[in-house]
Structure 1
Amino acid sequence: MKHIKLKKVKRLSSWRKVSINTWKMPVDPSTYGLLKFNAKNFESFAKENGVTPTHLFTKVIAQVFHENPEINRIVRGANLYQRESVDIFLQVSVDHKGHDLSGAIIRDADKKSVFEIRKELMESAQNIRDNKDKSFKKVKKIVSLIPNFLTRPLLYLLDLAMYRFNFYSPLFGVKNDPFGSCMITSVGNFGAEFAFAPIPTISHVPIVLSLFKVKNEPIVEDDKVIIQKTLSVGVTLDHRIIDGVYASRIIAGIKKYVESPQLL
């Protein structure tokens, strides 16, 4: 069966064509950005509705992807393909000691409310921590059985089958398109002022977002220093898919919904 439902983008701009054929898949991400938004309404909306900033931000990003389908794409060989659904992957700590890390994916996140996202994420995270997630258990077992020297070539072959040839089989032990359209990692508890997460080569996502805690910061407004609730987000982009034009649309979309979450 097909690994992902994809539709080939036939009309490429000159720059997009040159970009795809100039760079290989990024081993180290090449484009970074640190964003800051007025989070007064964002924080109060989350508290009033009983959701966390992560739940609300997931909905924000899903909506931005829905409104800008050009960023929801994947590079295969020398061609660009359109993903048909907006799926958001969130990092999940398997235990509080940091011994293992996994993730939960919210399929069709743009079609779900922030309350549905909260419920699904909480259930998925709990299943992973309670060792009830069948897919995670299977992948974990397979990886533990593979000798270290074979891990890299086997991961390469799996990646080749799933993303280059778009072939999928349940025998692989992983879910279809396991990382989806975008990755979000909440790093607010790490104590860092800001950070940029790498784009995992095997993920094939065009963007990874590092979400920080909402906090009070001094800003200048009308030549006066005031204290304002701000939300910082570290962004890592795959420049083959998202250039400055699309990046500006992403920033505008995030700003719109973070500052006015009721629009969601």
Structure 2
Amino acid sequence: MVEMTWLQTIVLSVVQGLTEFLPISSSGHLRIVSELFFGDDAGASFTAVSQLGTEAAVLVFFGKDIIRIIAAWFRGLRSPQDRGPDFRVGWAVIVATIPIGVIGFVFADEVRTAARNLWITAVVLILFSGVFWLAERYGTQQRSLESVTMRDAVVMGLAQCLALIPGVSRSGASASAGLFVGLTRESAFRLSFLLAIPAVTASGLFSLPDAFEPAGKGLAASGPQLIVSVAIAFVVGYAAIAWLLKFVAHHSMNWFGAYRVALGLLLIALLATGTIAAQ
């Protein structure tokens, strides 16, 4: 166990805020940056806790929508005639959270150890770019967020589970699934942000104790460092959400796919030459 420095805290928190919502994998970038520049793994627990900052950004950015959805969900429970689009979105968030909650709990140890091998991250970065292309190629993009169904929630919830592997990207996986079921690109990303709130918040709170004393190899952050990390991730993450929603309204996910392929190939080169260690 190595104590995290303030420079590492700031750099990794900025990386978290920038990459959490872009479909390029925040956990993968944290793993790469921490190994390449600091010679160690920031750890899955630090990653999970720093995500509390970016999820706080979601809560603030979509605050009005979230309050409206929660209110509509409770009204719909009491009155069937009030079960409109927001009621369905509320259920979609609940249903989509179940798969990643179960799988994340069952495979918690693997997520924190074996899955963080950089060879896996490199391969996943490249291969999942193909999923982006397929989603853009075959998604009809004719449905709005108001048309969401429980089938959509299950599909996107299962896709969200793939984000447990560094290199996949939570937003990329769930938004791609959204495109496959016919949602517009902007609607798919908006829903992917909402679906992530319960899972990421629970993961961050659950990992909080481990972040101070990560088991085995890894960086250990202090309490003040974790607080600063959450604050930085919040500010940078809020700006990233605003930019991404404007970008995806007019641009394909393939732009991010191209970046992922380039990063994956660079990572393979660094690993093959022994510049950085895989584990």
Report the TM-score when normalising by structure 1: 0.32
Higher relative contact order (CA 8 A, sep 6+): 2
**Structure with the larger helix share:** 2
